[in-house]
């Protein structure tokens, strides 16, 4: 439907004006006419009304038609104006055209002129409306963000807007008349020619992506629409996709960051009921064992369970209610029911108005850390209550940690100890000696030694025992150790030493006081035996010998039970052979099965061996042969000969000495020791043989314990007695 046309007819003859209005309304479909009888009235009507066209006479009093035209053009440059006059001339027509008249028509007789005028009016208005529409479109095109161009049938630009030219780095004027190939690289030209243009030719439209070429030689991705007009021109609309591609790449990167983040990430929607999850990343699925499809749309509380404490849950609820971030740690449960400690941070994502748009959740499994914290707390508690001082110091000698017992022992506080130097507390050290002491340690080495510390409050020196280990923590070396106040132990040791010295002195006095009359008695008895032959003399001699043996064993027991302070490397086989020669072994045989090197006091170890050898001979032999020197057999691989000087006669005992795991043994092939007697054999005075003092095995036990060894008795390989010594340091 054609839009209505409103016309203002200006003519000084009112009858003519009304007649013209009547015919135009009749002849012109949709034309309505208003009239004015002067130019001034006409201007007023134009200014206050809305007209699509002005029809004016030429000759009018005051202002004629040309002058009215000029006045209208000043204010309404594109308003259609038709000069309709009965007194026209070429001069008038020329002036009218110069003034910008739209059309010129002379009045004539008959009614046909009104039909002609109506046509002229309609054509003028339609042209004006079309031009206005075109201008509006061009203005829209010029202000459009998309680049728009028009190509003629030869492919040359006949129009480009500013945005289009800017995309390719040109001014619009530079592109007019250029071929479209100007703005595409060679390979893209082939694509456009071979694919795009044929589609446009067939379908009149194409939409896709192409690669544009800028004036500086760079290319960019573009969204491209090509359409064909009725006249055969091509309208091209282009939008640069670089930013969108960049945003898409950025979004993809963000998606990857979220999905591949080492912690669980969730997004919840506060606008929906119960804050349901709308996103979870891959790590969250791994952490909880739930697939995203199962939990999207649910509240994250499904992770809570039987042992989830209420306090952290309440803290999260309060933060959500206030729209504030919060971090808590709580016990959560995986899909399979296993527990884990979850370090949870939730934070609001706000929109421009400060309203919570999303809730972000960050979740991390800290179970191992919580376990370490518990272990560390238990360790720290243990260290604090271990009952001894504990401290650590670094390579500079600075104390980095000290427990309360350490501080109390030294009469100070932990705060004052921290960062102090160890030589400030140990008068036996200074900075130089500390460096040498530090460098003497190997990684992992532990040493125990006695030293002296000085109390901070009184300056008193206290004896201490320290156990120090060289360790490395996070690539930093430390010494960690314990310190024990051994003041009481030292006093006890000194008291024991004094008692030992008194006992030794007492034993010497007793030995001297007893041996002197014993020697006199033995001498008198021998003189008596020279003068008289009496059956009473042998028993008396045996009794005196027994007294001498008791005195010797008592003195040995008193002296040999002292603690062994220093040891040396000793060949057990060689010492066994020497001891065998010193003992009265008769026709017995010694077999040295192994020859380990052990740490011992040689003289006191010899006493052990001699007592064991005598014990074996006394309880295992049936003869009193004295061929001891020739009865030593070396090595378990030696073959015994049948010569009289190499083998004891029938009934003589065989003794073996060898190594065990962590010690050595001495065994014989005699009758052995009944199990009922084994607990008491090491007691002083215990003996099953006539004439024995009963101190021999007691001496063995005392010397073993003085070394820190343990001696036990069991059955030998051949049924005799086997004495095993453990806790012995054996060199490898």
The tens digit of pLDDT for each residue in 277-315 reads: 999 999 999 999 999 999 999 999 999 999 999 999 999
Considering the domain 561-726, what is its CATH architecture? Answer: 2-Layer Sandwich (3.30)
- The pLDDT, as a whole number, for residue 626 is 37
The tens digit of pLDDT for each residue in 181-190 reads: 999 999 999 9
Which homologous superfamily is 144-245 in?
Answer: PAS domain (3.30.450.20)
- The pLDDT, as a whole number, for residue 513 is 66
Q: Cα–Cα distance between 71 and 669 in angstroms, integer?
A: 153
- Give the pair of three-digit tokens for residue 595: 């020859």
- The pLDDT, as a whole number, for residue 628 is 35
What sign does the dihedral 606-608-611-613 (CA atoms) show?
negative
Confidence class for position 342, pLDDT limits 50, 70, 90: very high
Indicate whether 81 pLDDT > 70: yes
- The pLDDT, as a whole number, for residue 144 is 52
Indicate whether 454 pLDDT > 70: yes
Q: What are the two backbone dihedrals, phi and then psi, of residue 330, each rounded to the nearest 5 degrees? A: -150, 160
- Give the pair of three-digit tokens for residue 224: 């491209």
- Given CATH 3.20.20.70, say whether it is the number of domain 5-140: no
Q: Cα–Cα distance between 336 and 339 in angstroms, integer?
A: 9
Q: What's the average model confidence in pLDDT over 371-399?
A: 84
Indicate whether 525 pLDDT > 90: no
Confidence class for position 624, pLDDT limits 50, 70, 90: very low
Indicate whether 695 pLDDT > 60: yes
The tens digit of pLDDT for each residue in 645-661 reads: 333 333 578 999 999 99
Indicate whether 130 pLDDT > 90: no
Q: What are the two backbone dihedrals, phi and then psi, of residue 95, each rounded to the nearest 5 degrees? A: -65, -40
- The pLDDT, as a whole number, for residue 110 is 79
For 386-485, CATH gives 3.30.450.20
- The pLDDT, as a whole number, for residue 304 is 95
The tens digit of pLDDT for each residue in 489-511 reads: 888 888 877 877 776 776 676 66
254 Cα distance to chain centroid = 22
The tens digit of pLDDT for each residue in 151-181 reads: 999 999 999 999 899 999 999 999 999 999 9
Its pTM surpasses 0.85 = no
The tens digit of pLDDT for each residue in 574-620 reads: 999 999 988 878 889 999 999 999 999 998 898 899 889 988 888 77
Q: Cα–Cα distance between 590 and 581 in angstroms, integer?
A: 10
CA atoms within 13 A on the CB side of 683: 7
Q: Which CATH class is domain 261-371?
A: alpha beta
The DSSP secondary-structure symbol of 730 reads: B
Confidence class for position 563, pLDDT limits 50, 70, 90: low
Q: Which of 254, 238, 234, 235 is nearest to 246 (CA)?
A: 254
Domains in the chain: boundaries: 5-140, 144-245, 261-371, 386-485, 490-551, 561-726
Confidence class for position 559, pLDDT limits 50, 70, 90: low
- The pLDDT, as a whole number, for residue 510 is 63
Do the two domains 5-140 and 261-371 of this chain adopt the same fold? no
Strands 81-85 and 53-56: parallel
732 Cα distance to chain centroid = 45
469 Cα distance to chain centroid = 28
- The pLDDT, as a whole number, for residue 649 is 39
- The pLDDT, as a whole number, for residue 638 is 34
- The pLDDT, as a whole number, for residue 675 is 84
Helix (H, G, I), strand (E, B) or coil at 690: coil
β strands within 188-262, DSSP E: 205-213, 219-228, 234-240
Higher-pLDDT residue of 23 and 259 is: 23
Indicate whether 643 pLDDT > 70: no
Q: What's the average model confidence in pLDDT over 457-485?
A: 87
The tens digit of pLDDT for each residue in 305-340 reads: 999 999 999 999 999 999 999 999 999 999 999 999
Q: Please, what is the average pLDDT of the chain?
A: 84
Strand ordering across the sheet containing 234-240: 157-160, 147-151, 234-240, 219-228, 205-213
- The pLDDT, as a whole number, for residue 634 is 33
Indicate whether 192 pLDDT > 80: yes
Q: What's the average model confidence in pLDDT over 101-129?
A: 87
């Amino acid at each position: 439907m054609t839009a209505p046309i409103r016309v203002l007819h200006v003519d000084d003859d009112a009858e003519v004006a009304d007649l013209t209005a009547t015919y135009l309304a009749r002849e012109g479909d949709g034309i309505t006419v208003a009239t004015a009888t002067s130019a001034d009235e006409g201007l007023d009507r134009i200014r206050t009304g809305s007209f699509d066209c002005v029809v004016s006479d030429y000759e009018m009093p005051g202002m004629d038609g040309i002058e009215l035209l000029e006045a209208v053009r000043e204010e309404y440059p594109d308003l259609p104006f038709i000069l309709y006059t009965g007194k026209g001339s070429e001069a008038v027509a020329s002036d009218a055209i110069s003034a910008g008249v739209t059309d010129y028509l002379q009045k004539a007789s008959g009614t046909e002129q009104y039909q002609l005028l109506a046509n002229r009016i309609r054509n003028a208005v339609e042209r004006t409306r079309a031009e206005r529409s075109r201008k509006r479109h061009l203005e829209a095109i010029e202000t459009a963000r998309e680049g728009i161009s028009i190509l003629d049938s030869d492919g040359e630009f006949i129009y480009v807007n500013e945005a289009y030219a800017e995309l390719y780095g040109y001014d619009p004027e530079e592109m007019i008349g250029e071929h479209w190939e100007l703005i595409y690289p060679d390979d893209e030209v082939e694509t456009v020619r071979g694919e795009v243009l044929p589609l446009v030719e067939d379908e009149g439209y194409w939409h896709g992506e192409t690669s544009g070429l800028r004036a500086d030689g760079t290319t960019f991705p573009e969204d491209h629409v090509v359409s064909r007009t009725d006249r055969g021109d091509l309208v091209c609309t282009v939008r640069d996709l670089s930013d969108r591609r960049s945003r898409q790449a950025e979004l993809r990167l963000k998606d990857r960051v979220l999905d591949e983040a080492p912690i669980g990430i969730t997004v919840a929607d506060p606008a929906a009921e119960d804050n349901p999850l709308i996103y979870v990343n891959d790590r969250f699925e791994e952490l909880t064992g739930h697939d995203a499809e199962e939990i999207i749309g649910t509240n994250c509380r499904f992770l809570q369970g039987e042992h989830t404490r209420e306090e952290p849950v309440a803290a999260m609820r309060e933060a959500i209610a206030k729209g504030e971030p919060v971090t808590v740690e709580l016990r959560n449960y995986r899909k399979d029911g296993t527990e884990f400690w979850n370090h949870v941070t939730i934070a609001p994502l706000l929109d421009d108005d400060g309203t919570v748009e999303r809730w972000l959740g960050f979740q991390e499994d800290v179970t191992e850390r919580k376990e370490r914290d518990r272990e560390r707390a238990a360790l720290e508690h243990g260290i604090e209550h271990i009952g001894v001082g504990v401290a650590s110091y670094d390579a500079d000698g600075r104390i980095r940690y000290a427990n309360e017992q350490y501080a109390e022992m030294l009469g100070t506080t932990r705060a004052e100890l921290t960062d102090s130097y160890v030589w400030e507390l140990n008068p036996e050290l200074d900075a130089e000696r500390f460096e040498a002491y530090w460098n003497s340690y190997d990684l992992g080495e532990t040493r125990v030694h006695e030293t002296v510390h000085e109390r901070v409050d009184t300056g008193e020196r206290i004896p201490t025992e320290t156990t120090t280990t060289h360790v490395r923590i996070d690539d930093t070396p430390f010494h960690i150790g314990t310190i024990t106040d051994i003041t009481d132990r030292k006093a006890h040791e000194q008291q024991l030493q004094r008692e030992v010295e008194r006992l030794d002195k007492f034993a010497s006095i007793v030995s001297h006081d007893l041996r002197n009359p014993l020697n006199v008695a033995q001498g008198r008895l021998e003189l008596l035996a020279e003068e008289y032959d009496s059956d009473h003399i042998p028993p008396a001699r045996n009794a005196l010998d027994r007294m001498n043996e008791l005195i010797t064993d008592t003195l040995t027991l008193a002296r040999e039970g002292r603690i062994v302070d220093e040891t040396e490397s000793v060949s057990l086989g060689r010492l066994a052979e020497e001891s065998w020669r010193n003992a009265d072994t008769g026709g017995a045989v010694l077999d040295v099965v192994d020859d380990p090197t052990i740490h011992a006091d040689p003289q006191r170890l010899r006493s052990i061996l001699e007592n064991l050898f005598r014990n074996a001979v006394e309880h295992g032999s049936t003869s009193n042969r004295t061929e001891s020197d020739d009865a030593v057999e070396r090595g378990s691989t030696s073959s015994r000969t049948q010569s009289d000087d190499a083998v004891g006669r029938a009934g003589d005992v065989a003794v073996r000495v060898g190594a065990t795991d962590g010690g050595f043994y001495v065994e014989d092939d005699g009758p052995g020791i009944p199990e009922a007697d084994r607990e008491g054999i090491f007691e002083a005075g215990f003996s099953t043989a006539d004439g024995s003092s009963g101190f021999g095995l007691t001496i063995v036990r005392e010397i073993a314990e003085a070394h820190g060894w343990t001696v036990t008795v069991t059955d030998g390989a051949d049924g005799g007695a086997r004495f095993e010594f453990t806790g012995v340091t054996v060199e490898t």
